[in-house]
Chain A
């Protein structure tokens, strides 16, 4: 623990008031560091005050939303105080006619889903479906570039965020993008914050593009298929004349869950075409619900490290082969070549699976389990690209206030 940590709580209390600050406990530890304080700012101005103080006093702050992905990246080198976004909550504005919604960063995806469902008979949604929506905050989802099965059609947080408000490490309050979908004014700083693991700025507000809830969906299942046949699906689906919402290969079950989305009148047409093309079986509503429940939050349920993997789509067969050797469980978004795998928390396993993935022309990033596996969380930080990332971190956070070391090891 750093020497600055001892007075951290008193300093924060003096700045933000005692009601916004409590003592840190071992349960609050991040990357093995028990923070001196947990700060829960009431609003963006209070976030800015906390950052200004930390910047001036040399404190390290780690932002926490729902705590679901706190282990992503490398363990931060220091954590004097946790900045908890729990009070930055609620929908600021929902403009249904414009399909946009502005939300405070500490709002959970489930809360947002309820607000959108209540408006206009659930005609609109944010199609971002990472696991644990009841705890996962929107700010955290942005900071970790979160996504779930629906990314096949709708993309990740990178594709759905159209604007952010944020506080830099020195307390500078800024915003990027706006409340309109089409907008090229200025640098797209929001893009830098997506996946930045809370190391470049504290996200306080997010504006997202909403999508209409599809009037009809059909679920199909490819069962007990060989790895080769499942891998071929990636290619078959490429030009299939359907609107694919989900296409998840689940291994080791050797199944593929497919979902088409469309109008009531025409969705059966799509389902029939897809069944013919892939040999998948159309499920009735009961079967579909059962399947959804059985694969929900794969592979996040159960113990172990979680790795995010991406390979060229044509190498999915190789990925399944590597996964069966190293991983307990893997889900591949077939049309994208993107996967999440659960594996035992053993550094040599992560290293070996990473090497196999890199041979396939892809990459592997450790999501859950970084604290235990430390140095192997992200690929080795080297090269001119990383020098540029370091330069960016220094420009936005010169004193290393925000989760120092988490993204780049040293910076």
Chain B
């Protein structure tokens, strides 16, 4: 198999040395690990297709991988399987500003796309906080969002077309650079399929003009519930901010200790960003300030320049990594609740803190109900990491009880496959199985991810360990 792969893509593009392939054993969620038999690093769609055809003929399972920053174990290798890593395919192939499109290879980072079009006054909207290192291919796999998706939407709304190598090695083009491609919207299901339906090797992205104006404001509240009420009031006024973020005392303290963003000392901090035409921004900002004040918000600070805005965001962006200042270890949960159910869910989380004797910090994309509880624990205390994982799982129960979701942006991957039956009925899961089989009848493409399997769901994942890129300060968990 290795000899055939080397013949297809070149000897140096196939890694088999244990020391080399070990680097591909896990993604950003380091509790799940497996060492692959080989890693293929293709440079083109044709090379990817050639490799997949060989693996398909030999019935060898394979795992597509981008930058490996995922937080759900979606790119964890398979023992005796092959990792197909697209990280070397990092060219911006074309930019068409007049039609607001960029065609890129999957290894290109979000940041690189925005940098390539910045001179024209454009940007690429989805902004996961790992945007400086995570790849567009990974964004497509996870349907990535970020802090600004409340207004701008998710990857689904920003990918117009893809070239994809199917599980059997055929190359298909789904969608296109113009909208409304005839036929079933296969692209719509490929986005967010976590690399289980094929390997995307080229992506046509929608570019967005930079808004004429953008302002950011923060306000301090004496409870998360009060801050949540302010968010509800903002929404009730018909305002759709570009971003609404909320942090609790524990995460504010951690962020302050780490980056000194100058946040007020308070129980809850609300950060609201508004963009659009200048006069609209001014009026909406005035309304937001009025609403926050009425809900008990104090210490309002407004940033209008890019530098001031960056400072206000710095604490929020650093919040996850900063937890290391207040806890030896932490697990990042990713759940979604209807925004209006924040109060009961926070009360539930507090009860869990007492029950488990562990602290939980709360960072919340308050606009769209995406909660990121940070479960703090000490991995050196026997049994504590298991306890933390159990607590994190119970938070998902709270989310589901309120009609929410087990993941808003990190994906199901290997981490949450066993939680899927708690959210989806047998019929819903059977439908997904059939969709998967339509794309990959042999089940070779990223198996044991996304959907529950008896083998997978009998296993207990290992504890969280900091990923090398995280330790290096290149990415945060968000």
Contact = CB atoms under 8 A, between A and B. Distances in A.
Interface stretch (A17-25, A60-68, A237-245, A280-288): A237-245
B173 A385 contact: yes
9 contacts: A97-B235, A176-B431, A179-B403, A185-B412, A185-B416, A187-B432, A196-B184, A386-B183, A407-B184
A178 B425 contact: no
Contacts of A338: 178-180
A40 to B, nearest CB: 23
Contact of A191 (B153, B156, B179, B279): B156
A229 to B, nearest CB: 17
B340 A389 contact: no
Contacts of B423: 178, 185-186
B236 A378 contact: no
Interface string A150-177: 0000011011000000101000111110
A394 B438 contact: yes
Contacts of A408: 183
B126 interface: no
A279 interface: no
A288 B143 CA distance: 40
Given A187-B450, A194-B188, A241-B278, 12 more contacts: A97-B232, A97-B340, A158-B188, A180-B403, A188-B191, A191-B188, A262-B277, A262-B280, A263-B283, A313-B98, A385-B183, A389-B186
Contact of B100 (A213, A238, A310, A383): A238
B236 A184 contact: no
B427 A384 contact: no
A212 interface: yes
Contacts of A200: 184
Interface in B145-203: 145, 149-150, 153-154, 156-157, 166, 170-174, 176-186, 188-189, 191-193
Nearest to A151: B179
A183 interface: yes
A194 B181 CA distance: 12
A396 to B, nearest CB: 6
B183 A378 contact: yes
B178 A180 contact: no
Nearest to B412: A185
Interface in B267-310: 276-280, 282-284, 287
B361 interface: no
A95 B185 contact: no
Contact of B436 (A120, A175, A187, A213): A187
Interface string B344-385: 000000000000000000000100111000000000000000
Interface in A134-149: 145
Contacts of B18: none
A174 B369 contact: no
A182 B184 contact: no
Interface in A361-411: 361-363, 365, 378-379, 381, 383-389, 391-396, 407-408
B182 A378 contact: yes
The 7 closest A-B pairs by CB, nearest first: A191-B188, A212-B238, A266-B279, A395-B438, A97-B340, A174-B428, A241-B212
Interface residues of B, number: 91
B474 interface: no
Interface of B: 98-100, 121, 142-143, 145, 149-150, 153-154, 156-157, 166, 170-174, 176-186, 188-189, 191-193, 209, 212, 232, 235-240, 276-280, 282-284, 287, 336-340, 365, 368-370, 403-412, 416, 420, 423-425, 427-432, 434-439, 450-451
B40 to A, nearest CB: 22
Interface residues of A, number: 90
Interface string A303-342: 0000010111110000000000000000000001110000
A265 to B, nearest CB: 4
Interface string A78-116: 000000000000000001111110000000000000000
A196 B189 CA distance: 13
Contacts of A395: 434-435, 437-438
Q: Which of A159, A184, A211 has the most CB of B within 10 A?
A: A184
Contacts of B336: 180, 182-183
Interface of A: 95-100, 120, 123-124, 145, 155-156, 158-159, 166, 168, 172-176, 178-189, 191-192, 194-196, 200-201, 211-215, 235, 238-239, 241-243, 262-263, 265-267, 269-270, 273, 308, 310-314, 336-338, 361-363, 365, 378-379, 381, 383-389, 391-396, 407-408
A174 B431 contact: yes
Contacts of B412: 184-186
Contacts of A178: 403-405, 423
A172 B183 contact: no
A184 B340 contact: no
A407 B188 CA distance: 17
A95 B236 CA distance: 11
B99 A384 contact: no
Contacts of B369: 98, 180-182
A99 B277 CA distance: 24
Contact of B282 (A158, A194, A266, A337): A266
Nearest to A309: B180
Contacts of B432: 186-187, 189
A400 B170 CA distance: 25
A183 B153 contact: no
B172 A385 contact: yes
A243 B145 contact: no
Contact of B431 (A168, A185, A263): A168
